[in-house]
Amino acid sequence: MSPKPNRIKIKNNMKEQIFVTGIGTEIGKTVCSAILTQYLKADYWKPVQSGDLHATDSMRIYDLLQGDVRIHPERYKLQLAASPHKSALLENTSISLEDFKIPETTNNLVIEGAGGLFVPLSDTCYIIDLIQALTIPVALVIKDYLGCINHSLLSINAIKQRNIDLKYLIFNGGIDTDSERVISLQIPEHTQIIHIPQLETVTAEAVRKITDPFNS
């Protein structure tokens, strides 16, 4: 396994907007979004929340940052914990790319997607289409598991094909050295690699410890 740093560091902390997506589900996009939001002192926006309306990702971000964050309201909040296209259909709702507009803010902005790049928002558009429509750079979150190389390279290739800016590659919770090497060979030269250590418990204190030393 590659070394597990206790802190993250981003080379350039200028004003920016970033869309956090992943190579699949349950890989820690929300935790990574919280860390980026804290580090960049950014606003947070979850365009589509599908299910878990009693404990949304926006609520979790608010808790992990202890309320010290501006949360922009979701464009869609759907009841069923399923793919947004299915949840919307059951609520007689249709999701269109024209429905989304980046919130106005003078701060940095972290946007968190739902699942991976090809999670459908409707029968004809996917998360990657939303990213492309918003013309916003991407942070791709990778978690180490059997098959993560394949999922990572498919995601990176799709991002390249759409001419989307892959600004950050985030290895969440450590990564096998050989896996990291073969994945990293496929990213653009300007893409920054971020390692986020495995957190024993995901708490506000843990997020603060990872980010605080570089915010002075």
Q: How many CB atoms lie within 10 A of CB 73?
A: 11
Is 93 annotated as ligand-binding? no
The range of the structural domain enclosing residue 45 comes to 17-214
Q: Are 82 and 53 in contact (CB under 8 A)?
A: no
Residue 114 counted as an annotated binding residue: yes
pLDDT number for residue 11: 66
> Given strand 109-116, what is the order of strands in its sheet?
71-72, 43-45, 109-116, 17-22, 138-143, 166-172, 192-196
- Rounded Cα distance between 24 and 89, Å, is 22
* Residue 161 falls inside a structural domain: yes
C-alpha distances out from residue 29 to 93, 105, 140, 171, 189, Å: 26, 22, 9, 11, 23
Residue 200, pLDDT score: 85
**Residue 171 tokens, joined:** 């290895």
pLDDT of residue 215: 44
15: confidence class by pLDDT, cuts 50, 70, 90: confident
With cut-offs at 50, 70 and 90, classify the pLDDT of residue 211: confident
Is residue 7 assigned to a domain?
no
CA-wise closest residue to 75 among 54, 94, 61, 92:
94
Q: Per the structure block, which two tokens stand in for 180?
A: 């990291």
Q: Is residue 77 part of a domain?
A: yes
Q: What is the DSSP string of 62-116?
A: HHHTTT-SPEEPPSEEESSSS-HHHHHHHTT----GGG--PPP-SS-EEEEEEEE
**153-170: buried (b, 16+ CB within 10 Å) or exposed (e) per residue?**
bebbeebeeeebbbbbbb
Q: Is residue 2 part of a domain?
A: no
Q: What is the pTM of this model?
A: 0.91
Interval 75-89 mean pLDDT: 95
Q: Is 199 annotated as a binding residue?
A: yes
34 sits in which H/E element: helix 29-40
Asked if residue 70 lies in contact with residue 107, where contact means CB atoms within 8 angstroms, the answer is: yes
Going by pLDDT thresholds of 50, 70 and 90, the confidence category of residue 9 is: low
The answer as to whether 11 is a domain residue is: no
Task: Count how many domains the chain has.
Answer: 1
Angle between helices 148-161 and 177-184 (to 10 degrees): 20
33 belongs to a structural domain: yes
Is residue 3 in some structural domain? no
User: For the domain that residue 182 is a member of, what is the CATH number?
Assistant: 3.40.50.300
Is 121 inside a domain boundary? yes
4 carries an active-site annotation:
no
pLDDT at residue 3 above 50?
no
pLDDT in tens, 109-165: 999 999 999 999 999 999 999 999 999 999 999 999 999 999 999 999 999 999 999
- State residue 125's pLDDT score: 96
Please identify which of the residues 4, 9, 15, 46 carries the catalytic annotation. 46
Residue 4 banded pLDDT, cuts 50, 70, 90: very low
Rounded Cα gap, residues 210 and 212, in angstroms: 6
Average pLDDT over the chain, rounded to an integer: 92
Range scoring the smallest mean pLDDT among 14-18, 68-72, 103-107, 188-192: 14-18
Q: What are phi and psi of 136, to 5 degrees?
A: -130, 145
Residue 24 assigned ligand-binding role: no
Residue 12: the pLDDT is 61
